A and B are shown apart, each in its own frame.
Chain A
């Protein structure tokens, strides 16, 4: 059974760094893209980016390029989303999901429950 288990909610201050994670199981982690989707409070879905764990090939949405870093450790089947300096506008729920198909034309078929990131002074 495919599972995507995300780390717990975070409360941070502006300017702080943060890394959230998601651990996948039930499939070959290295041979599927895995990615992140942001949902601002009460808003729709936004694609953040994806990573191919086998070689760490990473693709970012232009909206998030330079704002976050996506990484993966295939040895422990875990993907990460990292911020070096959080802003209040980063407050959102971040979903991790497995992508089936190609990087640009695939679909997210298995989703984590989401990690709520709250940034406030």
Chain B
């Protein structure tokens, strides 16, 4: 059972905008910034969004992040087949003194 809650799966069609959610609490998302990672099967995770809404260089601006209260979201606009991957949110938890991750959302492009 992950501290951060993500829907296990999501889907969209090419060109569509999809939003992936990450729900936490007052000791984690409520007071700390959120990072998002993208992982393709058999490969290492890749940093997609850091500090809630910052994109590392090289990440397309189709990807955007936001945080509100104890939840965070990752939006992908202009969905492409190459976006099919698992997406993880993560942050620090002040009560657990630990980095916590969501269980991941497996995104399918139909």
Contact = CB atoms under 8 A, between A and B. Distances in A.
Contact of B98 (A62, A100, A109, A111): A62
Given A62-B97, A109-B56, A45 B32 contact: no
Contact of A112 (B44, B47, B103): B44
Given A95-B45, A111-B45, A44 B98 contact: no
B32 A105 contact: yes
B68 interface: no
B32 A44 contact: no
Interface residues of A, number: 20
Nearest to A108: B47
A107 B50 contact: yes
A47 to B, nearest CB: 4
A37 B39 CA distance: 13
Given A105-B92, A107-B51, A44 B103 contact: yes
A108 B33 CA distance: 13
Interface residues of B, number: 25
A53 interface: no
B102 interface: yes
B88 A44 contact: yes
A62 B97 CA distance: 7
Interface in B1-49: 2, 32-33, 35, 37, 43-47
Contacts of A47: 90, 98-101
Contacts of A46: 101
Contacts of B44: 95, 111-114
Nearest to A47: B99
A89 interface: no
A105 B101 contact: no
Contacts of B103: 44
B2 A44 contact: yes
Interface of B: 2, 32-33, 35, 37, 43-47, 50-51, 56, 88, 90, 92, 96-104
Interface of A: 37, 44-47, 61-63, 95, 100-101, 104-105, 107-109, 111-114
